[in-house]
Structure 1
Amino acid sequence: MNKRPAALAATALALALTLTACSGSGEDAESTGSAASGTTVSHIHGLGLDPASRRLYVATHEGVYTPGAQGKPEPVGDSRDDFMGFTVAGARTFYASGHPTSGGNKGLIKSTDAGKSWKTLSLAGESDFHALDFAHGTVYGYDSTNGLVRTTRNGVSWRDGARLEAIDIAVSPQDTGLVLATTADGVARSADGGRTFARAEKPVMAYLSWAARDALYGMDPSGGVHRSGDGGRTWKKAATVPGGRPQALTAVDAEHILAATRTGVYESKDGGHAFTKRLAVASNGTH
C-alpha cells in the first residue's frame, strides 16, 4: 500500500474525486436546541436516523443539527465542533469523531442522549476518523490521521488494520469480516475485517452504505446513487441526487436512503429512485 502521510493521501483522493465530479417528511420530536434566526448548515460529513424517534441527525462542520418543525436546521446540544466521522449505533446512541473548535483531533466520542452531550472514549488528540460504521457490536473506523482502518468493540482498545487511502468504509450486515472502502481507483474489498484489502475495482464511489445483504448503496462523485445486490460485484444506477458532488450517504434500510450533496440533505424511500429535500445547505464548504 502507498504509505505517504495520511494528510497528503486524503488530499490526493479528494482531488481525484473532485476532478471526476459534475461541477420532507419531518417527524416532530422533543426539542433538541433553539436555533437562532438565520441558522444555516454547510459542509455535511454524516447522516443518521435515530431508530427510537425516527428523527434525522446531520453531522456538520459546525456541530450536529436536526430539522425543526418547519424544516429549518436546529442545533443539537451545545457543541459546535467539526464532526467528521458519524454513525448511529442504536436508539439515542451515536459515535463520532472530528476536530474541536480549539483545534486538534477528537478521537472517538460517544453520545447516549441523541447528540446532546458527548463523552470521549479514546484516541483524543491522536486520531480523526473520517468514516465510522457500527456493525456486529463493533465500531469500524477509517483513521485519516494515520491512514488506517481500525476496529474496536469497547471503544477503548483498538485493532489496527490495513493502511490505505480511503474516503469511506462500509461493513457487510451479514459477514463481520467483509469490509469495503472507497478509493480513487474504485472500491477495495477486505475479507478479514479490514486487516488487508484486495486491489480496488471500478466503478469509483465516493460513499458507501450497506443496509441489508442485498442492499449495498454507493454514491459516485457526481451524485449518482447505485445499488448492488451482490456485495459490490455489480452495480445498477437508480438515480442522481440533486446538488452535484456528494457529501454523505446513509442507508437506513433496504429502501430508505439519506444522501447529502452541496445543496442539501435528501431522502428516498424507494431505493434511491426519487428524492425529496429534508434540509437545505447554505454553502458547499471545503475540508
Structure 2
Amino acid sequence: MKKSLLLTVFTLTFSLVACGQAEVKDKKFTEQSEAQTNKDGSVGEGASDNFLEVFDGKIDHIHGVGYSGNQGKPFYAAHDGLKVYEGGKWYKTKEENNDYMGFNATKDGFYTSGHPGQDSSLPNPLGIQKSTDDGKTLEQLALEGETDFHLMGVGYENQVIFLMNPQKNSMMETGKFYLSEDKAKTWKEVAANGLDDTLLSVAVHPQKADYLAASGQQGIYLSKDKGETFERISKSGQGTSVFFTNDSLIYGTYDGKAKLTKVSLSDETEEEIALPKMEEDAVMYFAQNPNNEQEMTVVSFNGDIYYTTDGANNWDTILEAGKIK
C-alpha cells in the first residue's frame, strides 16, 4: 500500500466517523443477511449464550474488537450490532443490534457509544453505555442523547475512560480530552500535550490509569501521567492501532508495510509480532485474549479479519473484504 492510499483509507474512516453524528438507520448500514439457525432451533455448536444466533451475512464497518470477560471470545462491534467468532463459526446478537462506536471490552462486559439500531429503544446518540451481559441490556452512564464518542478508550480491569469530545455537550468542551476514574460520573479535562495529530484510536492500560496511548497519522503516542503529556514512541510511519496488555503496548504502524510492534512498558524493549500477508492494508484494530496470550485477532482497513491461536505463528483469515470465509 502506498502511503497516499493509506491516507485515503484514513479519510474514509473519518468520513464514517463524521456520519456517525447523523442518523445511522440508513439502509446502507443496516442491511444484512438473515441469521441461520440449526434445524432443531439451536444456535450451533460452540455458542454458549442463547442471546447469540448463527450468522452468515456480511460484516461491514467494524469500529472495535475485544474479548469480553464474560465470554472469553472475540466480539466485533459493527454498525449493525455485535458479531462473535467462536469455534470456527460466526454469531450475532439477536437483539440490540446497535451501531456501536467507541467500543471497549472489559473484564465484566463492554463500554460503548454510538447510535441505537432499529430494534432498540435506546436514546440517540447513545452517549456512554455499559453492558455486563454482552449486549442484552445496556446501562446509561452519561451524556445519552447528547454525544456519540468515537475516540474512547476504557481500561479492561480499572474501567478508566479516556476520550476526545467531538462536540460541546453538558459536561465537556469541543475537541478537548477527558478522563473519568469513576465510570463516567465525573470528568477531568487533561492537557494531552504532545498529542497534536489526527487520531484514529486511543487506549487505556488495563490496571494503571497513568498509562494511555493513541494512534495518529504521524505515529504512536504514549502517556505515563494520565494524559497530561504524550510522547511519540514509534520510530517511523503512520500509527494505525493501539492495545495494552498488563506489561506491554502493542501498536500498529504503516511505513510502506503493515507492522505490529510490542513494546515493554518496563524497559522499552521492542519486538515485532508477525502479521499475515497484508497487501496495501494495515492493522486497524488488534485484540489479545487476556486469559490466553496466544490468541489474537486483527481487523484490517480493507475489511479483513485474521485470527490466531498460536501466538501469531499462523493466522487464519476468517473474514475477507467483509465476507465470511
Q: TM-score if structure 2 supplies the norm length?
A: 0.68
Instruction: Give CA deviations for 1:45-84 in whole Å, capped at 9, x if unaligned.
Output: 1112233432321101221111366613x32142333211
Aligned partner of 1:258 in structure 2 is 297
Between 158-167 and 78-87, report the one with greater CA deviation: 158-167
Tell me how far apart the structure 2 counterparts of residues 216 and 227 of structure 1 sit (CA, whole Å).
Answer: 6
Would you say the 8 A contact 2:161–2:184 is kept in 1?
no
**Any unmatched runs of 5+ in structure 1?**
1-10, 19-25
5+ unaligned residues in a row in structure 2: which ranges? 1-6, 15-44, 167-173
Residues 1:138 and 1:235: Cα distance change in structure 2 (over 3 Å):
same
Task: Confirm or deny that 1:130 pairs with 2:159.
Answer: no
SS of equivalent residue, structure 1 residue 117:
coil
SS at structure 1 position matched to 2:10: helix
**1:53–1:230 CA distance, 2 compared to 1 (3 A):** closer
Give the counterpart letter for 1:83 in structure 2. Y
**Matching residue of 1:219:** 252
Distance 1:59 1:121 in 2: 19
CA contact (8 A) 1:98 1:130 kept: no
The residue number in structure 2 matching 1:96 is 112
Report SS of the residue matched to 1:258: strand
The structural deviation recorded for 1:109 is: 0.6
Q: Residues 136 and 176 of structure 1 are in contact (CA less than 8 Å); yes or no, is this contact kept in structure 2? A: no
TM-score by length of 1: 0.76
Question: Within 5 A, what are the aligned runs for 1:226-237?
Answer: 226-230=261-265, 233-237=268-272
1:246 is the counterpart of 2:279 = no
| Larger CA deviation: 125-134 vs 227-236 | 227-236
Give the structure 2 partner of residue 21 of structure 1.
none
Q: CA RMSD in A?
A: 3.3
Higher relative contact order (CA 8 A, sep 6+): 1
Structure 1 residue 43 displacement after superposition:
1.6
The answer to whether the Cα contact below 8 Å between 2:155 and 2:203 also exists between their aligned partners in 1 is no
The count of residues paired between Structure 1 and Structure 2 equals 262
Partner SS state of residue 245, structure 2: strand
% same residue: 20
1:193 aligns with 226
Map of 1:160 onto structure 2: 189
8 Å Cα contact 1:97/1:107 also seen in 2: yes
| Contact 1:44–1:247 (CA under 8 A) maintained in structure 2 | no
Q: Which residue of 2 aligns with 1:143?
A: 164
Answer with 1 or 2: which has the greater Rg. Answer: 2
